[in-house]
Amino acid sequence: MKLLTIPGVIDVHTHLREPGAAQKEDMATGTRAAISGGVTTVLDMPNNPIPTSNPLALKEKFKLAENRIYNDLGFHFAATMEALPFFEEVKNQVFGYKLYMNHTTGNLKVTPEEAEKIFAHIPNGKTLIVHAEDETLDRAIELAGKYRTKVHVAHLTSKQELMSVVKAKKSGMNITCEVTPNNLFLTDEDIKRIGAYAVMKPVLKTQMDQDALWEGLREGLIDIVATDHAPHTIEEKENSENSPFGVPGVETSLPLLLTAVAEKRISLETLITVTNTNPRRIFSIPEQLDTYVEIDTSQKYVLSNDKIVSKCGWTPFAGMQIKGKIMSVYLHGRKIVDNGKVFEQPTGKIITPAI
């Protein structure tokens, strides 16, 4: 059997939920799920119940990760008014600052006035990650131009948003963007079938939008595929009055992308660029030696909830046919996944940006 070998996937957008919401996921279960899916580095978002908006909260995340993580893990910092005085102090410890300009899980949404102050205060060379949808994205791009802020646009969902980013890129701005597998493999038409398990922010868009995102990937206009891994428990999702936004994705991303390669929707080269080369360059992620994934491209299987490693135990992609099975994953020279199963102890490292 001839195996395909690719570099470990870097997922720059995950919510590992710890501290504060470990019923959904924790650092051990989230990184275990990730490595089972060929993801060897994850970056964690700051929208915990007590947000990562000061050095103490950040320190707590570093502490919680010690000896518990299965892949390499780094952190993003909140971009709120409480966090702003600490931007300089934490800059060598965090990969990005996350700004919420629209409503979603957590309590980090800022006012337009606050957003402007934040754009103006991102330390030189550091990246502001924006959750900005539709017209709000245009406002974010305007502010990035005004303050010359390096901006990364999280989860693009529409053709319109892609066009806004492409226009900004062409004007010479320092702007990059990501797309999630949610938006590449699901559309608004799937919401009827999947219900609460397809509810997320931004919401799923149309087939026309999805087609534009695939085209953007093929043309090299979209820099990164990141999952926005946002697990919630089945009980929480089933609560019809208060069903939270977000879906898990860290372990299904590479299988779905491998399927896209098998179906010739993107090239293998593009897959490696958007899952490894670009994320490493954009977020200054340290090099991982002897870290790679071995894939049997001939194997087919169907994604199902009972095989999910994440603590949440479900996937919006259940029922989808996958082409290409992850056989082994090596992290820093050690085999962590064997025959598709995680068997090693947690040997991941806590990472900080490579200078």
Residues of this chain that interact with ligand DOR (CB under 6 A) are 15, 47, 104-105, 131, 200-201, 230, 244-246
Shortest gap between Cβ of 264 and Zn ion (angstroms)?
30
Decide if residue 178 touches Zn ion (CB under 5 A).
no
Q: Which stretch binds Zn ion (CB under 5 A): 186-194, 224-232, 260-268, 336-344?
A: 224-232
For the sheet with 224-225, list strands across it. Answer: 9-14, 39-44, 72-78, 94-100, 127-131, 150-153, 175-179, 224-225
- State the Cα–Cα distance between residues 52 and 217, nearest whole angstrom: 31
Which of Zn ion, ligand DOR, none does residue 36 bind to, with CB < 5 to 8 Å depending on kind? none
Which residue lies nearer to ligand DOR by CB, 54 or 105?
105
Which residue lies nearer to ligand DOR by CB, 16 or 217?
16
* 3-state SS track over 9-75: EEEEEECCCCCCCCCCCCHHHHHHHHHHCCEEEEEECCCCCCCCCCHHHHHHHHHHHCCCCCCEEEE
Measured at CB, which residue is nearest to Zn ion?
A: 228
Shortest gap between Cβ of 255 and Zn ion (angstroms)?
21
Which residue lies nearer to ligand DOR by CB, 244 or 348?
244
Which residue lies nearer to ligand DOR by CB, 89 or 238?
238
Shortest gap between Cβ of 231 and ligand DOR (angstroms)?
8
Shortest gap between Cβ of 149 and ligand DOR (angstroms)?
20
The token pair at 57 is 């909260």
Which of ligand DOR, Zn ion, none does residue 311 bind to, with CB < 5 to 8 Å depending on kind? none
Decide if residue 25 touches Zn ion (CB under 5 A).
no
* 3-state SS track over 75-124: EEEECCCCCHHHCCCCCCCEEEEEEECCCCCCCCECCHHHHHHHHHCCCC
Q: Which stretch binds Zn ion (CB under 5 A): 30-38, 113-121, 156-164, 222-230?
A: 222-230
Shortest gap between Cβ of 45 and Zn ion (angstroms)?
5
- Which parts of 172-277 fold into alpha helices (H)? 181-185, 191-194, 207-218, 234-238, 253-262, 268-272
Shortest gap between Cβ of 100 and ligand DOR (angstroms)?
7
Reference 156, options 136, 126, 127, 173; nearest CA is: 136
- Indicate which single residue of 228, 253, 315, 337 sits in contact with Zn ion (rule: CB under 5 A): 228
Shortest gap between Cβ of 74 and ligand DOR (angstroms)?
17
- Binding-residue total with Zn ion (CB under 5 A): 1
202: how many CB neighbours lie within 10 A of its CB? 23
Which residue lies nearer to ligand DOR by CB, 105 or 176?
105
- State the Cα–Cα distance between residues 132 and 202, nearest whole angstrom: 9
The token pair at 226 is 């990141």
Site for Zn ion in 54-113 (CB under 5 A): none
Helix (H) and strand (E) counts for the chain? 12, 13
Which of ligand DOR, Zn ion, none does residue 105 bind to, with CB < 5 to 8 Å depending on kind? ligand DOR
Decide if residue 11 touches Zn ion (CB under 5 A).
no
CB neighbour list of residue 141: distance below 8 Å, 6 or more residues apart: 151, 164, 165, 168, 173, 175
Residues that bind Zn ion (CB under 5 A): 228
